[in-house]
Structure 1
Amino acid sequence: IVTANDGADAIAKFSRSRFDAVLTDIGMPNVDGLGVLQRVHELQPLVPVVMATGAPSVDSAIHAIEHGAFRYLTKPFDKETLESTLERAIQLGRLARLKQDALHLQAETNGRQIGPGTRETFERALDQLYMVYQPIVSWRDRKVIGYEALVRSHEPSLRHPGVIFPAAERLGELTTLSRTIREISPTPFLERGERLFVNLAAHDILDDELFHPDSGLASIADRVTFEITERASLDSIPNVCRRIADLRKMGFQIAIDDLGAGYAGLTSFARLEPEVAKLDMSLIRDVHRIPTKQRLVKSFQEVCSDLGIVLVCEGVETAEERDCLLHLGCDVFQGYLFGRPEPSPEPAVF
Structure 2
Amino acid sequence: MNHHANHLQYPVPLPWKVRKQDLLVNVRLYIPGGGASQLPWSGRQPTNRPAGKTGDKTNHKDYPVPVSVVARFMQDCKASWPFGNSEFYFMNQNESIIQSGPIRLIVVDDDPEIGRALTRLLRHEGFAPDYFEDCAPAVEAARTGQYCAILSDIAMPGMDGIELMRQVRRFDFDIPIILLTGEPTIDSARKAIELGAYRYFTKPLDHQELAAAVKSASFAHKMAKIKRSSAQMMGRAGEAPADMLGLMVAYDAAVATLWMAYQPIVNAADGSVFAYEALMRSESKSLPHPGAILSAAEELGMLDDLGRRIRLLAPVPFMEMGNKALLFLNLHPRDLADPQLLESGTMLAGFADRVVLEITERASLEKIPDAHATIAALRSRSFRIAVDDLGSGYAGLNSFALLEPEIVKLDMVIVRDVDTNVTKQKLMRSMVDLCHDMGIQVVAEGVETRTERDRCVELGCDLLQGYHIARPGRAFPSVNW
Q: TM-score, normalised by structure 1?
A: 0.67
Cα distance change of structure 1 residues 236 and 141 upon mapping to structure 2, 3 Å threshold: same
Matched, 1:228 2:359: yes
User: Structure 1's 142 and 118: CA in aligned 2 closer, same or farther, altered over 3 A?
Assistant: closer
Q: Deviations over 1:209-249 (max 9, x none)?
A: 01111111101101000000000001111221111010011
**Which structure has greater helix proportion?**
1
Aligned pair partner of 1:284 in 407, 415, 439: 415
Rg (Cα) greater in structure:
2
Q: Is the 8 A contact 1:133 1:342 kept in 2?
A: yes
Partner of 1:265: 396
- Could you tell me which amino acid in structure 1 is paired with residue 244 of structure 2? I
What are the Cα deviations for residues 171-219 of structure 1, in whole angstroms up to 9, with x where unaligned? 1111111111111011011222000000011110000001111111101
1:197 corresponds to: 328
The residue type paired with residue 260 of structure 1 is: G
Residue 349 (structure 1) shift? 1.1
Q: Contact between 2:241 and 2:247, CA under 8 Å: does it hold in 1? A: no
Mapping for residues 46-125 of structure 1, pairs under 5 Å: 113-115=243-245, 117-125=246-254
SS at match of 2:275: strand
- Provide the C-alpha distance between the structure 2 equivalents of 1:326 and 1:278, rounded to a whole number of angstroms: 14
List alignment gaps of at least 5 residues for structure 1. 1-108
Q: Distance in 1 between matches of 2:358 and 2:467?
A: 19
1:264 aligns to what SS in structure 2? coil
What does residue 313 of structure 1 align with? Answer: 444
Q: Deviations over 1:53-90 (max 9, x none)?
A: xxxxxxxxxxxxxxxxxxxxxxxxxxxxxxxxxxxxxx
Residues 240 and 286, structure 2, Cα contact 8 Å, conserved in 1 = no
Flag structure 2 segments of 5+ consecutive residues without an equivalent: 1-238
Q: For residues 385 and 450 of structure 2, what CA distance do their matches in structure 1 show?
A: 29
Report which structure shows greater RCO (CA 8 Å, sep ≥6): 1
What displacement does 1:150 show? 0.4
Number of equivalent positions: 242
- Residue 295 of structure 1: aligned partner: 426
Pairwise CA RMSD? 1.6
Structure 1 residue matching 2:377: 3-state secondary structure: helix
- How far, CA to CA, are the matches of 1:338 and 1:219 in structure 2? 29
Q: Which residue of 2 aligns with 1:97?
A: none
The residue that corresponds to 2:314 in the other structure is 185
Q: Look up the equivalent residue of 2:455 and give its one-letter code.
A: C
CA contact (8 A) 2:253 2:284 kept: yes
Query: Any runs of at least 4 consecutive aligned residues in structure 1 with deviations exceeding 6 A, and if so which?
Result: none
Which residue matches 2:383? 252
| 2-structure distance, mates of 1:333, 1:266 | 23
1:215 aligns with 2:346: yes
Tell me the CA shift for residue 110 of structure 1. 6.8
Residue 343, structure 1, aligned to residue 474, structure 2: yes
Code of the residue aligned with 1:226 in structure 2: it is L
Query: 2 CA distance for matches of 1:186 and 1:322?
Result: 28
For 1:151-170, what aligned pairs fall within 5 Å after superposition? Answer: 151-170=280-299
Change (3 A) 1:339 1:112: closer
Look up the equivalent residue of 1:176 and give its one-letter code: D
The whole-number CA distance in structure 2 between the counterparts of 1:162 and 1:233 is 18
Match of 1:53 in 2: none
Letter in 2 for 1:171: L
Distance change in 2, residues 1:333/1:118 (3 Å): same
CA contact (8 A) 1:144 1:347 kept: no
The answer to whether residue 301 in structure 2 is matched with residue 172 in structure 1 is yes
How far does the alpha carbon of each residue in 1:249-292 deviate from its partner, in whole angstroms, 9 at most, with x for none?
A: 11100000000000111231111110000000000000112111
Alpha-carbon distance in 1 for matches of 2:441, 2:461? 9
Q: In structure 2, which of residues 405, 423, 431 is the aligned counterpart of residue 274 of structure 1? A: 405
Q: Deviations over 1:22-47 (max 9, x none)?
A: xxxxxxxxxxxxxxxxxxxxxxxxxx
- Cα distance, 1:270–1:257 mapped onto 2, change above 3 Å: same
Q: Which of the residues 277, 281, 291 maps onto 1:148?
A: 277
Q: In the TM superposition, what is the alpha-carbon distance from 1:331 to its structure 2 partner?
A: 3.1
Contact 1:134 1:147 in 2 (8 A): yes
Alpha-carbon distance between aligned partners in 2 of 1:111 and 1:264, rounded to the nearest angstrom: 33
CA distance in 2: counterparts of 1:263 and 1:118, whole angstroms: 31
